[in-house]
Amino acid sequence: MEISSQETTLANVKERKARRAWYLYDFGNSAYAAIVLLAVYSAYFKDAVVGGAEGTRLWGISVGIAAVLVALLSPVLGTIADFTRSKLRLLGVFTGMAVVFTAALFFVGPGDVFTGMLFFILAEIGYRGAQVFYDALLVDVSTPETIGNISGKGWAVGMLGGVACLIVVLVPLQLIGNSFIPYAFLITALFFLLSSIPAFLYVREHSAPAHLPEGEKVTSFAFKRIGQTFKEVKQYNDFIKYMIAFLIYNDGIMMLMDFAAIIGATLFGMEQVQLILFVILIHVTGAGGALLFGRISDQRSSKQAILVSLGILLLDLIALFFIESVTHFYIIGAIAGFALSGAQAVSRTMVSQLAPNGKTTEFYGFLSVAGRTSTFIGPLVFGTLSYRGHAFYLARGMSDLAAEQAGLYWAIGSIIVFLLIGAIVLLSVRKVTAEQPMVY
């Protein structure tokens, strides 16, 4: 009995270490999102590397290209990971890619449009590709009863990681000025690398790898298994409906994330330091949102948690049309961060609840396809509407800045449409809880 008690205690310690290491990966992962996507590189690329409305358009294209490439890779890699128990190895490959090319952004200067797009696209492929395997490891560090709470905690820790990296970058930016911006990308790459190491040391995959049929190769069998999943798709009706809902509402979320800094800079004249403070605020409230909606997911259902968060986000964005000051924009951003992080944290929980046994990573691959498709469609729609609106109002005699602002409001309106339609589709998905699991 004593040995058994010691073994139980040791197992509990290992589980806690694995969970903390999983949380810490999100700590570094979110530093990339905060610096590259939200606060620094997006605005730097738009204004310094390219300039004007063309910068907004090319930024949307860059995000979209990376999204399409990850969408093509994710289901195959997810299936291989399920079959070979290689989630951690593939996580390492894509994390390394993200770290290297985030550091490479240091070499992008004004006028370096091609390299600015190329290095960002490669870093984004690494970042988004790694998320497939990181999210799939959620089932290895949680139970059906705790999965929502653990997912929410991971997202909250990630938000704090974004805040920590932003603060590290903010201080020298204040003292040195915009000439420090390239060094922010080196700091982010190092931050991401160091935070990811514990996951590879302490997280373990619990499922055993399956054996390949005789004469089969892993890659060819992965394609066959995906084909089989598509043939059986009618069995997964609720998952398919959820994927459609996620694809649509995630369009709105991705548009908001990828263009938040551009919206602040264009509509309210926010400068780099103000944008960093804005993103810090979003991350702080986002941590609270992830924790709260993670608990709602476990206590009620993931579906209800997502619907509530989308409702808050919709009302918040509508209010954006009626504000005129930077202070009000900070308030809008704080509420958006709270709701947006809640929706994202619970979205990955819902996949694990809807996926059949033995196909978790494969289904996270399909989630990635939906996510990357929306990462492509959303920014493309936003960038195109903003660019066309700018040209429309410019031709009617508006000043360049006023025309760019007017076009941006049309693009913001498209975010509202995507969120609303996604929420309506989500209403048709079955409510799944630990007590009422999905059975295929």
Asked whether residue 432 is assigned to any structural domain, the reply reads no
Q: Alpha-carbon torsion 26, 182, 93, 14, what sign?
A: negative
Residues 255 and 383: beta-carbon distance below 8 Å: no
Residue 313 has what pLDDT?
A: 94
Which residues form the domain of 151?
Answer: 11-203+226-426
Asked whether residue 211 is assigned to any structural domain, the reply reads no
- pLDDT, one tens digit per residue, over 85-108 is 778 888 999 999 999 999 999 999
Residue 74 has what pLDDT?
A: 72
- pLDDT, one tens digit per residue, over 113-139 is 999 999 999 999 999 889 878 887 887
Residue 32 has what pLDDT?
A: 93
Residue 404 has what pLDDT?
A: 87
Asked whether residue 125 is assigned to any structural domain, the reply reads yes
What CATH number corresponds to the domain at position 272?
Answer: 1.20.1250.20
Residue 230 has what pLDDT?
A: 63
Asked whether residue 151 is assigned to any structural domain, the reply reads yes
Residue 219 has what pLDDT?
A: 67
Asked whether residue 114 is assigned to any structural domain, the reply reads yes
**Residue 329, helix vs strand vs coil:** helix
Q: Which residues of the chain have pLDDT under 50?
A: 1-2
Total structural domains in the chain? 1
Asked whether residue 439 is assigned to any structural domain, the reply reads no
Residue 437 has what pLDDT?
A: 62
Asked whether residue 337 is assigned to any structural domain, the reply reads yes
Residue 382 has what pLDDT?
A: 85
Asked whether residue 371 is assigned to any structural domain, the reply reads yes
DSSP secondary structure of 176-243: H-GGGHHHHHHHHHHHHHHHHHHHHHH----SPPPPPPTT--HHHHHHHHHHHHHHTGGGGHHHHHHH
